[in-house]
Amino acid sequence: MLTLHDYLPSQNGWKVRVLLGLLDIAYDSRLVSIFEGESRTDAFLALNPAGAVPVLQLEDGSAIAESNAILTYLAEGTPFLPADRFRRAKIMQWLFFEQYNVEPVIGSLRFWTLTGRLERNQGMVAGKREAGARTLAALNRSLGDAPFLIGDDFTIADIA
């Protein structure tokens, strides 16, 4: 059975859990105590040298880190990741956009708020909020003529 090494407040873990649920894939959940240093142990670093969640451990013990890589792996052969080269490239475009624009801006503001670190990082908050507004504007422009990022079909781009 698959094992998802996860931290429940993580948005990156959440999107993997969403796709696992949509695909009705059974998995074991292994919660990682990131604030207690569990993601920095030798055992965890053997799964993901970057020491971050989520990590999907396959039945054979091999592991895939990075949420969008996990989404791509799980979605292969499903409508969430179409075979058409152009549509796949557009999905990859949005997956990269999410990791470069959404996660480090909106994601960090969310994380700081949830963990009580917003005040500690106050000097960066205004810049991140401005960048977040630009990010959301780009998403809104893309969704102006279609219900989903790649058109009429819900894909892993939308989950991310």
Cis check: omega of the bond before 49, within 30 degrees of 0: no
154: exposed, middle or buried (C-beta count within 10 Å: 0-12, 13-18, 19+)? Answer: middle
Strand-pair partners of 65: 55
> What's the pLDDT at 76?
98
Q: Distance between CA 120 and CA 68 in Å, rounded?
A: 29
> What's the pLDDT at 142?
95
> To 5 degrees, how large is the angle CA 110–CA 24–CA 114?
10
Return the C-alpha torsion angle 52, 55, 57, 63, nearest 10: -70
> What's the pLDDT at 111?
87
- Bridge-based pairing of strands 2-6 and 55-57 is antiparallel
User: Mean pLDDT for each consecutive 10-residue tract of the chain (160 residues)?
Assistant: 95 97 98 93 97 97 98 98 97 97 92 89 93 96 95 97
**Cβ-proximal residues to 76 (8 Å cutoff; 6+ apart), any chain:** none
Q: Which CATH code for domain 85-159?
A: 1.20.1050.10
> What's the pLDDT at 114?
87
**Cβ-proximal residues to 11 (8 Å cutoff; 6+ apart), any chain:** 103, 107, 110
> What's the pLDDT at 140?
96
> What's the pLDDT at 158?
98
DSSP at 50: T
What DSSP letter does each residue of 115-153 carry, written as one string? Answer: TT-TTTTHHHHHHHHHHHHHHHHHHHHHTTSSSBTTBSS
Domain 2-75 CATH assignment equals 3.30.200.20? no
Task: Quote the tokens at residue 13.
Answer: 């873990």
Q: Where are the domains of the chain?
A: 2-75, 85-159
> What's the pLDDT at 44?
96
Q: Distance between CA 28 and CA 23 in Å, rounded?
A: 15
